[in-house]
């Protein structure tokens, strides 16, 4: 399992936080997601054999938010 922290821009409220969390959780291979509105980041644990970091980032983008790294 790989753990990664992704910086995300554009989250304004708890709804945004939930939207991002859901979007990342829907990526195949993602085990655990914790999105922090205050820190503007997502802590993601995933199986690197199944999920790839690009898929996680594009899920955030597709949800309407911006990945900062
Ligand atoms: Cu919001």
pLDDT in tens, 38-62: 999 999 999 999 999 999 999 999 9
Q: How confident is the model at residue 69 (pLDDT cuts 50, 70, 90)?
A: confident
Mean pLDDT of 14-25: 98
Residue 45: predicted pLDDT: 98
> Mind listing the domains of the chain with CATH numbers?
2-67 (3.30.70.100)
Residue 63 CA to ligand 1 centre (angstroms): 12
Distance of CA 36 to the CA centre of its chain: 10
Residue 45 CA to ligand 1 centre (angstroms): 23
Residue 49 CA to ligand 1 centre (angstroms): 32
Mean pLDDT of the chain: 97
Instruction: Tell the burial category of 53 from Cβ atoms under 10 Å away from its Cβ (0-12, 13-18, 19+).
Output: middle
Q: Rounded to two decimals, what is the model's pTM? A: 0.95
Residue 56: predicted pLDDT: 97
Residue 56 CA to ligand 1 centre (angstroms): 20
Residue 10 CA to ligand 1 centre (angstroms): 8
């Amino acid at each position: 399992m790989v753990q990664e922290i992704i910086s995300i821009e554009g989250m304004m409220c708890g709804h945004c936080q939930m939207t991002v969390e859901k979007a990342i959780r829907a990526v195949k291979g993602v085990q655990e997601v914790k999105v922090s509105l205050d820190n503007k980041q997502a802590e993601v644990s995933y199986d690197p054999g199944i999920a790839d970091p690009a898929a996680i980032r594009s899920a955030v983008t597709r949800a309407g938010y911006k990945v900062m790294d």
